[in-house]
Amino acid sequence: MKPILNFVFLILILSNAFSQQTSVTKSEDLKSAYDIQDSVMIKTRDGAFISAMVVRKKGITTPKPVIFQYTIYVRDKGRDIKTLKEAADNGYVGVIAYTRGKRFSPSEIFPYENDGNDAYDVIDWISKQEWCNGGVGMYGGSYNGFTQWAACKKMHPALKTIVPYVANRPGMGLPMENNISVNPNYEWSFYVGNNKYLDTIAGNDRQRFRTMQDKWWKTGVAYKKMDSIDGSPNRLFQRWISHSSFDEYWQKMAPYGKEFAQINIPVLAFDGYYNDSQNSSLYYVRELQKYNPQTPVYVIIGPYGHFGTQIGGELNLYDYKVDSIAIINIKKITYQWFDYILRNSTKPEILKDKINYQVMGANEWRSTSSIDKMANGFLKMYLTDSKSGKFYALNDKKPIQKKYLYQEVNFADRQTENNDYYPDPIIRKEIDTSNGFIFISEPLKESMLINGSFFGEIKASINKKDMDIGVTLYEVMPNGDYFHLSYFLGRASYAKDTTKRNLLKPNEIESIPFSNTHLVSKQLSKGSRLLVAINVNKNPFSQLNYGTGKEVSDETIEDAKEPLKIKWYNDSFIKIPVWK
Strands 64-71 and 132-141: parallel
- Per-residue pLDDT tens over the stretch 536-548: 999 999 999 999 9
Distance CA 323, CA 365 (A): 10
| Domains 264-372 and 377-579 are alike in CATH topology | no
- Per-residue pLDDT tens over the stretch 552-562: 999 999 999 99
Q: What pLDDT does 144 receive? A: 98
Q: Between these two residues, 78 and 281, which has the higher pLDDT value?
A: 281
Residue 11: pLDDT above 80?
A: no
- Per-residue pLDDT tens over the stretch 232-243: 999 999 999 999
Residue 154: pLDDT above 60?
A: yes
Please provide the average confidence, as pLDDT, over all residues in the chain.
94
pTM: 0.93
Question: Which band of pLDDT confidence, cut at 50, 70 and 90, is reported for residue 174?
Answer: confident
Q: Which fold has domain 264-372?
A: Rossmann fold (3.40.50)
Percent of the residues in the chain that have a pLDDT greater than 70, as a whole number: 95
Q: What pLDDT does 120 receive? A: 98
Q: What pLDDT does 31 receive? A: 59
Distance CA 290, CA 319 (A): 36
Residue 8: pLDDT above 60?
A: no
∠ CA 174-179-184, rounded to 5° = 30
Distance CA 423, CA 274 (A): 8
Q: What pLDDT does 70 receive? A: 98
Q: What pLDDT does 27 receive? A: 43
Candidates 1.10.10.10, 3.10.20.30, 3.40.190.10, 2.60.120.260; CATH matching 377-579: 2.60.120.260
Q: What pLDDT does 173 receive? A: 85
Helix (H, G, I), strand (E, B) or coil at 79: helix
DSSP annotation string for 121-167: HHHHHHHTSTTEEEEEEEEEETHHHHHHHHHTSS--TTEEEEEEES-
Could you state, in order of their start, the residue ranges of all structural domains in the chain?
180-241, 264-372, 377-579
Residue 99: pLDDT above 60?
A: yes
Residue 386: pLDDT above 80?
A: yes
Average pLDDT rounded to a whole number, residues 355-370:
97
Q: What pLDDT does 242 receive? A: 97
